[in-house]
Amino acid sequence: MKKNKKHSILFMVTVFTMTMFFSCKNNFKEVQKIGISENEPIGVAENINLKYTDSGKIEAILLSPKMFDFSNREFKFSEFPDGIHLTLFDDENQKSTVVADYAIVYNETDLMDLQGQVVIATKDNDTLFAEQLFYDQKKEWLFTNKPVTFRTGLDLIHGNGFDSDTKFTNAEVLEINGIITVNE
């Protein structure tokens, strides 16, 4: 009888242990999230001066007072609430600049949303002024459906929308509502 009772207790302990063992999940990612609200950034960087190089040559310099890293969200992004100043260098080391009051970069789609007083100035002195501009980093394409002013050569073109490659070789102002030619 004692032996039978011992076996019963051992059997129950074994069943309980096995049940606990097989019911455990790998919740390491969930444990990491404890104490981090998805509404809060996982990181904050201040006074950013980021230099991107390729084969020892500087390709771009990004300056920004502040960046919030929201890579803890399902749709990851980085936010620059105080704007950006981006300098891009071409193969001949000539620079173009991009300035915006606010920027957000969506990591998974490589789409950048520039807002506020957006100004892009190329090495050829073409300048685009917009209140919002999207940049598709994969396709190297700029576009918006918001009001823009595009200065190219002696022409100042006003319109509602813009579509172009990053070098402005295929630049097109959409819904043109005025062209002013400036005399030198």
In angstroms, the CA 76 to CA 107 distance is 6
CA distances 60 to 36, 50, 84, 95, 98, Å, are: 32, 8, 12, 9, 11
Helix/strand/coil (H, E, C) string of the chain?
Answer: CHHHHHHHHHHHHHHHHHHHHHHCCCCHHHHHHCCCCCCCCCEEEEEEEEEEEECCEEEEEEEEEEEEEECCCCCCEEEECCCEEEEEECCCCCEEEEEECEEEEECCCCEEEEEEEEEEECCCCCEEEEEEEEEECCCCEEEEEEEEEEEECCEEEEEEEEEEECCCCCCEECCEEEEEECCC
Q: Would you state the pLDDT for residue 179? A: 81
Residues comprising the chain, all counted? 184
Give all domains of the chain, ordered by start, each with its CATH number. Answer: 40-181 (2.60.450.10)
pLDDT tens for each residue of the chain, 184 residues long: 555 655 566 656 565 555 555 555 565 555 455 555 667 899 999 999 999 898 888 888 999 999 999 999 889 999 999 999 998 888 888 888 999 999 999 989 989 999 999 999 998 889 999 999 999 988 889 999 999 999 988 889 999 999 998 888 888 999 988 888 877 6
Q: Would you state the pLDDT for residue 88? A: 87
90 within 8 A of 123, measured Cβ to Cβ: yes
